[in-house]
């Protein structure tokens, strides 16, 4: 199994809702990542987890709350989002943070109304 899966594929939420994005990999990777990609822009790194511990937070607003419950699963909890948070959210994984290849999931397209 060499893929990263993300659910849901699409999500529409109001500014007062609480929702979660899920990312899963079964490649035995110990590093996982969240990226945000706005339309016609490159992906921007949000968070890095290494061995289930948060190692990088790129000054992301607290309305985005990551969680890594085990080595295969990465969640992104969303609360009180703004319309400008609408974007494609990409998850990726690699063997370890220092490993050079990242595998990307297909993304979750989020729309905040």
Partner 1 sequence: AQTVTQSQPEMSVQEAETVTLSCTYDTSESDYYLFWYKQPPSRQMILVIRQEAYKQQNATENRFSVNFQKAAKSFSLKISDSQLGDAAMYFCAYRRGGMRFGAGTRLTVKP
Q: List residues near partner 1 by CB under 8 A.
A: 33, 35, 37, 41-45, 48, 55-56, 88, 90, 92, 97, 100-104, 106-107
Nearer to partner 1, 33 or 78 (CB): 33
Nearer to partner 1, 14 or 55 (CB): 55
How many Cα neighbours within 13 Å face the side chain of 82? Answer: 4
CB closer to partner 1 out of 18 and 38: 38
CB of 9 to partner 1, least distance (A): 10
Q: Which is nearer to partner 1, 21 or 92 (CB)?
A: 92
Spatial CB neighbours of 62, under 8 Å, sequence gap ≥ 6: none
Taking the C-alpha atoms of residue 76 and residue 54, their distance in angstroms, rounded to an integer, is 12
Identify each DSSP E strand in the chain by its residue range. Answer: 4-7, 10-13, 18-25, 31-37, 44-50, 53-57, 64-70, 73-79, 87-94, 103-104, 108-112
Q: Compute CA 111 distance to the chain's CA centroid, rounded to the nearest angstrom.
A: 15
Nearest distance from C-beta of residue 43 to partner 1, angstroms: 6
| Minimum gap (Å) between residue 16 Cβ and partner 1 | 28
Q: C-beta of 98: minimal distance to partner 1 in Å?
A: 9
């Amino acid at each position: 199994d060499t893929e990263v899966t993300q659910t849901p594929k699409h999500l529409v939420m109001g500014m007062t809702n609480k929702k979660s994005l899920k990312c899963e990999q079964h490649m035995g990777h110990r590093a996982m990542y969240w990226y945000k990609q706005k339309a016609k822009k490159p992906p921007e790194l949000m968070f890095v987890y290494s061995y289930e511990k948060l190692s990088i937070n790129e000054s992301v607003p607290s309305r985005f709350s990551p969680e890594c419950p085990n080595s295969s699963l990465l969640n992104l909890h969303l609360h009180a989002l703004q319309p400008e948070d609408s974007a494609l959210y990409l998850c990726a994984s690699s063997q370890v943070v220092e490993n050079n290849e990242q595998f990307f999931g297909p993304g979750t397209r989020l729309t905040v109304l």
